[in-house]
Structure 1
Amino acid sequence: MKELDGHVKSYYAATANDSCEYPCLEGDVQADVCIVGGGYTGLSSALHLAERGYRVVLLEAERIGWGASGRNGGQVGVGQRRSQADLEAMFGFGVAKQLWSLSISAVQLVESLIVRHQIQCDLKRGIMHLAAKASHDKYLRYEAERLRKKYGYRQLEYVEKGEARQLVGSKRYLGAQVDFGSLHLHPLNFALGLARAGASAGVSFFEGSRVLGYSGASPFSISTARGQVRAEKLVLACNGYLKNLEPRLAGRIMPINNFVLATEPLPIGLAKEVIANDFALQDSLFVINYWRLSGDNRLIFGGGENYTKRFPKDIRSFVRRYLLRVYPQLENIGVEFGWGGTLAITVNRMPCMGQLQPGLYYSQGYSGHGISTATFAGKLLADAIYGESEGYQVFSSLPQTTFPGGTLLRWPGLVLGMLYHSLLDKIGN
């Protein structure tokens, strides 16, 4: 396999089906909307705006899909990062139901974009949520019934321990939810497909064009090392890679790192043993394990995270420990790829979306639920710019809290909190 130039070494980069490169910004250009960030949020926003006739320029510091959009676990789930019970307690049933409906629309949007633009990204259907503890099992059973009765969602069913273990090939888990309404896919190929669709619609993409700063009011002047964009509207779609570009947003998110491996291709019989129905899987631990089979029968497995600016020296070994806790029978299976990526979480684990000032839009903080949510967020930002803001208003009205201590002191608090929850993963029922 040949790695896609400019991307981290990963299974996704090695199996990318689009090697298109976009130029670096040189000189001055004009646009109606300038988007900063070439992940799902920026790509979706660019595509939807261009299809409505806007002149769109998208600036990416590295390569399109270089960040979490090209490195994640590939799961496209319904719901938000918080459970419906949590959302009801936080916002009331009315808002919780709106958020549920919007999450279904988000998954449908991903699928419709893939079909409409003929994006080859190993799209498959179904996600299973596995109970790691008895209390989690009780909750998954209760939540399945709640979703059926209160939300009318009938594509999810609860299965008992015996059936769950047959489907997953591991004795580690109890019962499970089986969700037929969710999806999984090759995330980098999905991102590259969105970019190709955007380019066909007239978006001007510039890679290797890190934004150094911008003027504070519309029309905005957005500066890179070798050029400048002047635009009436500006969209910040940087997520975990925002850094110091916009201090007013930086304290509302916390970048954390997550890690993934890809095994060698599994024999057909072994592949069916570990995932009998070819669904994507994730467990109920706070620091979750998540996995699925690739289009060529490799196990893509995510496990473990850290909260520093450094990745483990040997990511394959780091993640393999988590893999073997779930599947000791894979002890002799080779691991060919290991990589990490940076995502952004929020205090309440809900997306952080809105306008900082007239004409300056943003969306970030998907908290590990990014493919459907970020893609949908891009569409909602385009809707808001166009003047259709119903879905956008739901998300932009959610509370946005700055991490205690802001960007300076957020790390110690996060680490303590994560260590506490990691301890809970190891003990109790």
Structure 2
Amino acid sequence: MIDTNEHAKSYYAATKNWQTEYPELKGEHHCDVAILGGGFTGMSAALRLIERGYNVAVVEANRVSWGASGRNGGQLIDGFVMDLDKFEKKVGKNGAEIAYQMGIESRDVVLDRIKKHNIDCDLRFGFLDVAMNQGDIDDFHEWIEEKDKNNYPHKMEFVTKDELRNHIGSERYIAGVINYGNGHLHPLNLCIGEARALVEQGGMIFEQSHVNKIQHGKNPKLITEHGVVHAKKIIIAGNAYLQKTEPKLAGAVIPAGSYIIATEPLSKSLADELLPSNMAVCDQRVGLDYFRLSADRRMLFGGLCNYSGRNPKSITGVLKPKMDRAFPQLKGKKIDYEWGGYIGISMNRIPQMGRIQDNTYYVQGYSGHGLCPSHIAGNVIADAIAGDSERFDVFDKVWHLKLPGGLWFANPTLALGMMWYRLKELLA
């Protein structure tokens, strides 16, 4: 996997609706809010701010949606990855309730943007969580009971192994839970569609513009090699790719690799055999597999979350056997695309949202579950800038561990921790 300034050579990049060609930042520019990062968080915040009457500029080091926003599995899943019971101990009952409602709203933010801006991104509804053991099944029943108790707005259905055959053509799984409100989509087309909507409403986007310095203080600015954006407020939304741009965030988020392969287009009969109801699917393991069909009937199969900081020599070489194990019907099928990138992992799995100074905000660390959460996070930071900080303050009060020693220490430490959890799964 070789990163360049252009989009990764993925299925998404090969089928994007248009090539983004926004100008490089040159010279002096002024705005109300400058945003570092052209992914989902940055675009969501920018659109919300534009709606509130702010003048906005987004500065992206590479291309819009170049990072995880344009490389992920395309899973439309509401909620946060964190344990809300543990979160309640940190922020109180009211704070946990606010976070729960934010999680529900996160999916709606995405759908509203798609509808409002007429974004073509292959949206499909239906998400299937599958069980591989009795422990998973027990968790599913508790999960549904908890959702019912909290008046969860979307239909959920437990399916037995016999019923599961109506949704997935694999003998590997023994039960499942369907969420009819969640689903899947083309993430790159979603984000570049949001970018187009932003520019149409007067927002500025600069690509190929790596921020070398964030100047804080009374008159903050984003500084690149060839230009400067002066702003009243700054939002830092670089996530796993922020690196050393903001020293005060160093060590707070650990970049972990995540990878996907895409098969050649499948016949309709085979696609219908594999995933008859065209839902997105994932299992419940720490190192989970996730998969779905693309609009042109390719199997997109992802997983291989790598916490070591090293990329595999062959993404296909590792993921293809996993896919064939789940779907023996795909043995011999050609892999047309393989790609990967980094996701930002927070040590407690809670998204990190806060201020560096009164006029500098940041959000990062979605821990592999960011499509919907990044959209609500962008809205929440925009609202905080506009003076409504109740939801922002819930997350801002959470303390986050920063691993010392840089990535040479943090990535191996995280890798050892995840190996322990995977060993526990095997022993169970």
- TM-score for both structures, normalised by structure 2: 0.94
1:395 aligned residue:
395
Deviation at 1:221, TM superposition (A): 2.6
State the 1:89 CA deviation. Answer: 6.3
Note the 1:235-250 alignment, pairs <5 A.
235-250=235-250
Aligned partner of 2:9 in structure 1 is 9
Q: Which residue of 2 aligns with 1:189?
A: 189
> How many Å apart are 1:307 and its aligned residue?
2.5
Identity %: 40
Equivalent residue, structure 2, for 1:316? 316
Aligned partners of 2:352 and 2:395 also within 8 Å: yes
| Residue matched to 1:171 | 171
Q: Does 1:81 align with 2:85?
A: no
Q: Note the 1:262-341 alignment, pairs <5 A.
A: 262-341=262-341
The answer to whether residue 120 in structure 2 is matched with residue 120 in structure 1 is yes
How far is 1:102 from its partner?
Answer: 1.0
CA distance in 1, matches of 2:58, 2:234: 10
1:67 aligned partner: 67
Larger mean Cα displacement after TM superposition, 229-238 or 243-252: 243-252
Q: Residue 262 of structure 2: SS of its match in structure 1?
A: strand
Other-structure match for 1:130: 130
- Residue by residue, what CA displacement relative to the aligned partner does 1:25-73 show, whole Å, maximum 9, x if unpaired? 1111111111100100111111111222222111111000110000000
Q: Secondary structure at the match of 1:303?
A: strand
Go from structure 1 to structure 2 and tell me whether the alpha carbon gap of 1:93 and 1:331 turns closer, same or farther (over 3 Å shift): farther
SS at match of 2:150: helix
1:229 aligns with 2:229: yes
Structure-1 residue corresponding to 2:411: 411
Q: Which residue of 1 aligns with 2:204?
A: 204
> What is the TM-score of this pair, normalised by structure 1?
0.94
Kept in 2, the 8 Å contact 1:250–1:407? The answer is no
Q: Distance in 2 between matches of 1:152 and 1:123?
A: 22
Deviations 1:198-231 (A, max 9, x none): 1011111111100001222131132101111111
For residue 9 of structure 1, what is the amino acid of its counterpart?
K
SS in 2 for 1:167: coil
Partners of 1:28 and 1:227 within 8 A in 2 = yes
Q: How far apart are residue 306 of structure 1 and its match? A: 1.7
Specify whether residues 64 and 397 from structure 1 end up closer, same or farther in structure 2 by C-alpha distance, changes over 3 A only.
Answer: same
2-side partners of 1:139 and 1:404: how far apart? 35
Cα 1:425–1:273, aligned 2, differ >3 Å: closer, same or farther? farther
Question: Per the alignment, in what secondary structure is the counterpart of residue 101 of structure 2?
Answer: helix
Whole-Å separation in 2 of the counterparts to 1:83 and 1:221 = 36
Structure 2 CA distance for aligned equivalents of residues 89 and 278 of structure 1 = 39
Of 352-361 and 42-51, the range deviating more from structure 2: 42-51
Rounded to whole Å, the distance in 1 between the matches of 2:258 and 2:385 is 33
Indicate conservation of the 8 Å contact 1:304/1:322, yes or no.
no
**Distance between the aligned counterparts of 1:146 and 1:307, measured in 2?**
31
The answer to which of 315-324 and 200-209 deviates more is: 315-324
SS in 2 for 1:188: helix
* Residues 132 and 255 of structure 1: CA distance in aligned 2, closer, same or farther (over 3 Å): same
Show structure 1 runs of 5+ residues with no match. Answer: none
The count of residues paired between Structure 1 and Structure 2 equals 425
With over 3 angstroms needed to count, the CA separation of the structure-2 counterparts of 1:335 and 1:354, relative to structure 1, is same
> Are the structure 2 counterparts of residues 141 and 84 from structure 1 closer, same or farther at C-alpha, using a change threshold of 3 Å?
farther
* Secondary structure at the counterpart of residue 179 of structure 1: strand
**1:286 maps to amino acid:** V
Please name the residue that 1:160 is paired with: 160
Task: Give the whole-Å Cα distance in 1 for the aligned partners of 2:170 and 2:92.
Answer: 38
Q: Are the aligned partners of 1:291 and 1:301 in contact in 2 as well (CA < 8 Å)? A: yes
Runs (4+) of structure 1 exceeding 6 A deviation are: none
2:380 corresponds in structure 1 to 380
| Alpha-carbon distance in 2 for matches of 1:247, 1:91 | 26
Query: 2:110 corresponds to which letter in structure 1?
Result: V
Distance 1:383 1:92 in 2: 22
Contact residue 254 and residue 410 of structure 2 kept, 8 A: yes
Cα distance in 1 between the residues matched to 2:216 and 2:89: 38
Work out the CA distance in 2 between the residues paired with 1:288 and 1:89: 28
Q: CA offsets per residue over residues 227-246 of structure 1, 9 Å max, x none?
A: 11111111100000010111
Unaligned 5+ segments in structure 2 are none
Check whether the contact 2:32–2:56 (CA below 8 A) recurs between aligned residues: yes
Q: Cα distance, 1:392 vs. partner?
A: 1.8
Give 1:98 shift: 2.6
Question: Does 195-204 or 394-403 show the bigger shift?
Answer: 394-403
* Alpha-carbon distance, 1:152 to partner: 4.1
2: CA distance, partners of 1:28 / 1:92:
45
Deviation at 1:111, TM superposition (A): 0.3
- Please state how far the C-alpha of 1:348 moved relative to its aligned partner: 1.1
How far is 1:409 from its partner? 2.4
SS at match of 2:277: coil
- How far, CA to CA, are the matches of 2:88 and 2:387 in structure 1? 29
Using a 3 Å threshold, how does the CA distance of structure 1 residues 41 and 332 change in structure 2: closer, same or farther?
A: same
CA apart distance, 1:84: 4.5
Query: What does 1:139-154 correspond to in 2, within 5 Å?
Result: 139-154=139-154
Residue 219 of structure 1 aligns with which residue?
219
CA distance in 2, matches of 1:43, 1:413: 32
- Structure 2 counterpart of 1:374, which letter? S
- For the 8 Å contact 2:76–2:107, the answer to whether it is kept is yes
> Counterpart amino acid of 1:340?
G
